[in-house]
Amino acid sequence: MITVLRLGHRPARDKRVTTHVALTARALGADAILVSTRDRALERTVRNVVERFGGSFTITTGIPWRRTLKEWNGPKVHLTMYGLPLDKATPRIGRDNLLVVVGAEKVPRDVYDLVDFNVAVGNQPHSEVAALAIFLDRITLGESLQREAVGRLRIRPNPRGKSVIDSRT
């Protein structure tokens, strides 16, 4: 089980990026996302994608992030450009009940102490979506790219266009 914890989501400013964090988490092997700020519209958007494309991915918003970090029973990883290099840290991180912390605004200092691993996907400023994608791909050994969720809509590879199969038609 892999869960992503999104800190500092600001609905008016971060809605697209947080949606992309959630969709990346779903597509690349996470089972759930927890978002610190309540956002019913974000919940509806993500649940709609899961309903249409399949899978068992869940979203919960408005969670108390400090309590979640303190009480989490499993490894906790914070993705930051200030942490240990990804390739050095990844072999030491277990996948059982893994919590991956991704910030939005400036991450509070105590996050660095509440997690088990501060992991850097590079040491230059970059997108949290990109960091999450690379981390999940590495931690799952690329397995998520081979897995296909069974939903109402299915995408089929097509070298020259779009092939979407709708099970309703």
State residue 155's pLDDT score. Answer: 74
Q: Domain tally for the chain?
A: 1
The boundaries of the domain holding residue 144 are: 2-166
Half-sphere exposure of 118 (CA within 13 A, CB side): 13
CB count, 10 Å around CB of 75?
17
Instruction: For residues 135 and 130, give the distance between their C-alpha atoms in angstroms, rounded to a whole number.
Output: 8
Q: What is the pTM of this model?
A: 0.90
- What pLDDT score was predicted for residue 161? 82
Can you give the pLDDT of all 169 residues of the chain as single tens digits?
Answer: 999 999 987 776 777 899 999 999 999 999 999 999 999 999 999 999 999 888 899 999 999 999 999 999 999 999 998 889 999 999 999 889 999 999 887 889 999 999 999 999 988 888 899 999 999 999 998 887 777 767 777 777 778 888 887 777 7
CA pair distance 100, 108, nearest whole angstrom: 16
Which pLDDT score, from 0 to 100, does residue 134 have? 95
Residue 149 sits in a domain whose CATH number is: 3.40.1280.10
Q: What pLDDT shows up at residue 67?
A: 97
pLDDT (0 to 100) of residue 97: 95
DSSP state of 106: P
